[in-house]
């Protein structure tokens, strides 16, 4: 395991986003700076190991990528799955809006 990568499937991405710690990690990384595990663990109450696990979950969902640089491994934000997730929510919203306007047309008609 711990490969998968580039999960196109929306549920997997949402599941990865469905944890406050991971959401916070992702939000910090979305500034474009790659960071080491130690750096990311620094200002949390969690263990380094806990943070590592969360990063792997994010990585499996394709939300983050890691590069080993010397003795540290840097994690960087990857925007694609976020866009995919947004797209999914858009279609759901669109379907809902359609339903609404059809209903309105029916009532007013």
The closest of 68, 74, 67, 76 to 29, measured between CA atoms, is 76
Whole-angstrom distance, CA of residue 3 vs CA of residue 60: 6
Q: If contact means CB under 5 to 8 A according to the sort of partner, which of a copy of itself, DNA, none does residue 76 touch?
A: none
Q: How far apart are CA 85 and CA 80, in angstroms?
A: 9
* Residue 27 binding partner per list DNA, a copy of itself, none, with a CB distance cut-off of 5 to 8 Å that depends on partner kind: a copy of itself
Question: Site map for DNA, 44-63, x if CB under 7 A?
Answer: -xxxxxx-xxx--x------
The stretch among 23-31, 42-50, 76-84, 91-99 that binds DNA (CB under 7 A) is: 42-50
Point out which residues bind a copy of itself (CB under 8 A).
Answer: 9-12, 14-20, 22-23, 26-27, 30-33, 77, 79, 82-83, 85-86, 89-90, 92-93, 95-96, 99-100, 102-103
């Amino acid at each position: 395991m711990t490969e998968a990568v580039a999960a196109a499937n929306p549920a997997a991405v949402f599941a990865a986003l469905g944890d406050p710690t991971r959401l916070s990690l992702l939000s910090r990384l979305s500034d474009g700076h790659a960071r080491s595990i130690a750096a990311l663990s620094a200002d949390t109450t969690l263990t380094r190991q806990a943070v590592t696990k969360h990063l792997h979950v994010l990585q499996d969902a394709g939300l983050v990528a890691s590069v080993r640089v010397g003795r540290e491994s840097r994690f960087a934000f990857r925007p694609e799955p976020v866009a995919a997730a947004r797209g999914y929510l858009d279609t759901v919203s669109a379907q809902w809006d359609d339903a609404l306007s059809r209903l309105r047309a029916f009532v007013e008609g």
